[in-house]
Structures are given as structure tokens and as C-alpha cells.
Structure 1
Amino acid sequence: MMFMIIDSLKQIILPKYELSINSSNIENSSIIIKETQKDTKLKTVEITGLFAEHTYGFTLEGNKKDDQPICKYFDSEQKNINKVCDGVIFTQIENKNYIFFCELKSDRLTPSDYLVQYQNSTLFIDYLINILNSFYLQEYKPDYKYLLFHTQTKQNSKARNITQPVRLVGVQTKKNPKNGFELDFYGIYREISKFEAQQGAKIKVNINDILDN
């Protein structure tokens, strides 16, 4: 069934928004998400442990390059309704269907900000799944997972070449006090030096390590 899902998604989503998949090892492939904003410390996230033929991803922030809202009917000046997360990954792990909502952040984490991004992205993907089930497939019911990747800059660190390990916080729960939206998500971060913050940091992590944490 996953082959049909991916084939249908490729018919719906424009190719320019697709995320890059490294499939040199088809049973341990990786997908790469890049942050397009210039002033961010976390530039790249690579998620490994994926099966290439069962994986498809695209960016929801692609429209920012085109200076367009996520929906052409929306006013681009509206603050909240156009906020979305950086990438969405459709995949299958041990015969279970998942959709991973991925958001890249730097040091300062504002729950009301990224919760709005997750909420809007969820609404959009709900709509996309309804399209899939109505016109392409039947009974596609994936499990939603939310991944928050971020950095922690060590202010007193001068080391340039010492790469700190990725740390998995596990599932956290946050609630947006403005609208009551509550979400469980996985926290993934890495400590970085000031030098790496200036150059642009990268997080590389296996999807199974995240789910097992």
C-alpha cells in the first residue's frame, strides 16, 4: 500500500517541494530537511533509518521562497494561519504508517510559535489525507508524530572541531495558552559552539532511536 501512497503523493505535490532522499543504502536511507532562513543556527537535519521505497517527504515552507501563503486563498499578511513546520515525512516502519511533522529551531524555543506551526501543518495534512482517501486510496490512517529539532549554544565554548552528540529528550507535552491546542512531541537537540552556530549546525539521527526513546 505504501507504494500506492507515495505514487499518489507524487501526483499531487509539485516536485520542487520534495525533500531529498539519500538511497545509497535502500534499507537504511536518509531524508534531509534544510532551514531556509539565513539567521538560524540549525541549518540541516538528516533523519536516517528509513526504507527509501517506503518514504516520501516534502517541505511546507517552500512557499516562503515564492512569497506565497500555504493556500493561495489566504492573505499572506495574516500572522498565524500561514505558519507551518519545515518538513513532513510519509513513511512506513515495521508495517506501520507514520507521518512525521518536523520543525527546526535554534536556541530560543517559544511553544506558542511552534505549536501554531504544528497545528496548521496538521490541518493541511488532514486535508491532504482526505484527498488521498477520496480520490486515490482507501482507509489510509497513519500515525502522526511530531519532531522538534533544536540547538543549545554553549556560550563559553571556543572549541571548533568537537562535535557534541545528539540528545533525545523523549516525549514532551506543551499547550498553547492562546487557543488551548495541546500536543505531544519528541525533543531532539545538540549542544553547539558559537563557531558552529555561526557556520550553521547539523543534526543527524536515526528515526528508530527517536521512537524508542
Structure 2
Amino acid sequence: MIEVLQALVQILNPKKYVQSLDSKLTITEKHRQATFRNITIQSIGKEALALKLDECGFPGNKIFVEQHAMHRACDAVVFCVVSGEPYILCLELKSSGPNRNEVKQQFQNAHCFLNYLDSLLVTYHNQSIKSWSRRYFVFHDATKSLLNKPPLIDMPHNDTPESAQVMPVQNGENIYLRKLLGKPL
């Protein structure tokens, strides 16, 4: 699993990802109109990294029509290992209440990108992320939520783009990875 993370560092543009620092990883929304700016994932491990997918541009921008929904991207795709289990977290930060269809498109595109990335890892590094568990999360501004309640502690079934877990949180909030994954602290 560590070999996969090392291979990712070798092939990803260093300007497009951030690595964890002191086992923390901050995900930031860069859109200038956003009021919900960031969250920090705690206890994520020293080797974790987050690809800023929405800043990368779609790999096929010069091939496919520009107006297609396939060009939408989630804010970050995080690669991490928790207690020996590899995870890929697809994350989206929303200042307002999330639109399920819009978020679904963003996560479907992340899913396609991850399949493409897996193909590159297999071809050029003899590594794979195919067996890594994928989880999809939408974090949105809790101050604008009608359902101001804490997130679920039980493990949700958020392992497909269509079943993302929506979590109201505070801007700048610290979120523990194990809690996010429904694991004991």
C-alpha cells in the first residue's frame, strides 16, 4: 500500500496535490465566492495525500465537448491507509446545501478518473488501487443546514458516487478520519 502512495508521488504533478503534515490533511475550497473554505482531517497518517482534482482539469479537455457534465470534478481525492486498510476518499465542500445530482456527477467523474489512474499505475508501476475501498463525502456549511445534527457514527453505505454521505460541519472543522470511516477511535 505504501508502494502505491510512493508511485502516486512519482506520477502526480506536485502542484496538484498536498501531503499530510503531522498526520493532518487540510482540504480547501479555492472558489472565490465560497464561504465554506476548509476542513482538516485528523489522524490521517504520514503518507496520506490529497489530489486537488477540481484544480487539475479533465484529462480529455482537448478531446471531448466542453459543455459535457464529465468535466465537473470534486474538490479532492484522498489516498490514505488506516490500520493497514487502504482508502480513497472523494470529497466535496459546499457552501450551500448540496445538489444531489450535481454532486453525483462530480463523484462519477472522480470514479472514472480513479479507474484511469489505476490503469496508469498498473501499466507503469505494477501497482493498483482497484482493491482500495472508496468512500464519498460531501461536507457542507452546518450554519446553513436545516438539519443541524451531528453526522452518523454508524458506517454509512457511501461507497458509490450515488450514495455519498452528506455531513453538515463548521468551516475549518477538524474531523477525525476513524470517526469519518465509522471505526473506533
Q: Does 1:109 align with 2:98?
A: yes
Q: Which has the larger radius of gyration?
A: 1
The corresponding residue for 1:176 is none
Describe the shift of the 1:76–1:35 C-alpha distance in structure 2 as closer, same or farther (beyond 3 A).
farther
SS of equivalent residue, structure 2 residue 53: coil
1:144 to 105, 112, 134: 134
SS of equivalent residue, structure 2 residue 62: coil
1:185 to 161, 164, 178: 164
* Alpha-carbon contact 1:100-1:144 (below 8 Å) kept: yes
Matches for 1:25-40 after TM superposition, within 5 Å: 29-40=23-34
* Alpha-carbon contact 2:136-2:161 (below 8 Å) kept: no
* Alpha-carbon contact 1:172-1:187 (below 8 Å) kept: no
Shift of residue 75, structure 1, vs aligned partner: 4.8
Letter in 1 for 2:106: Q
Letter in 1 for 2:43: G
The whole-number CA distance in structure 1 between the counterparts of 2:10 and 2:125 is 10
TM-score, normalised to structure 2, is 0.84
1:80 to 59, 69, 79: 69
Matches for 1:46-61 after TM superposition, within 5 Å: 46-53=40-47, 55-61=48-54
- Structure 1: gaps (5+ residues): 24-28, 156-164, 174-180, 192-200
- Structure 2: gaps (5+ residues): none
* Alpha-carbon contact 1:60-1:70 (below 8 Å) kept: no
SS of equivalent residue, structure 1 residue 145: strand
The corresponding residue for 2:15 is 16
- What is the count of residue pairs matched by the alignment? 177
Shift of residue 190, structure 1, vs aligned partner: 2.4
SS of equivalent residue, structure 2 residue 43: strand
Matches for 1:118-133 after TM superposition, within 5 Å: 118-133=107-122
Quote the sequence identity (%). Answer: 21
* Alpha-carbon contact 2:108-2:161 (below 8 Å) kept: no
Letter in 2 for 1:60: L
* Alpha-carbon contact 2:94-2:139 (below 8 Å) kept: yes
Shift of residue 129, structure 1, vs aligned partner: 1.0
Shift of residue 3, structure 1, vs aligned partner: 2.4
The whole-number CA distance in structure 2 between the counterparts of 1:30 and 1:190 is 17
* Alpha-carbon contact 2:122-2:128 (below 8 Å) kept: yes
The whole-number CA distance in structure 2 between the counterparts of 1:130 and 1:69 is 16
Letter in 2 for 1:211: L
1:205 to 161, 175, 179: 175
Matches for 1:153-168 after TM superposition, within 5 Å: 153=143, 167-168=150-151
2:83 to 87, 94, 100: 94
CA deviations over 1:134-190 (Å, ceiling 9, x no partner)? 2212454201111111013359xxxxxxxxx983146377xxxxxxx9622222212
CA deviations over 1:3-36 (Å, ceiling 9, x no partner)? 211221112110000124222xxxxx11111101
Letter in 2 for 1:149: F
Describe the shift of the 1:135–1:169 C-alpha distance in structure 2 as closer, same or farther (beyond 3 A).
same
Identify the structure with the greater strand proportion.
Answer: 1
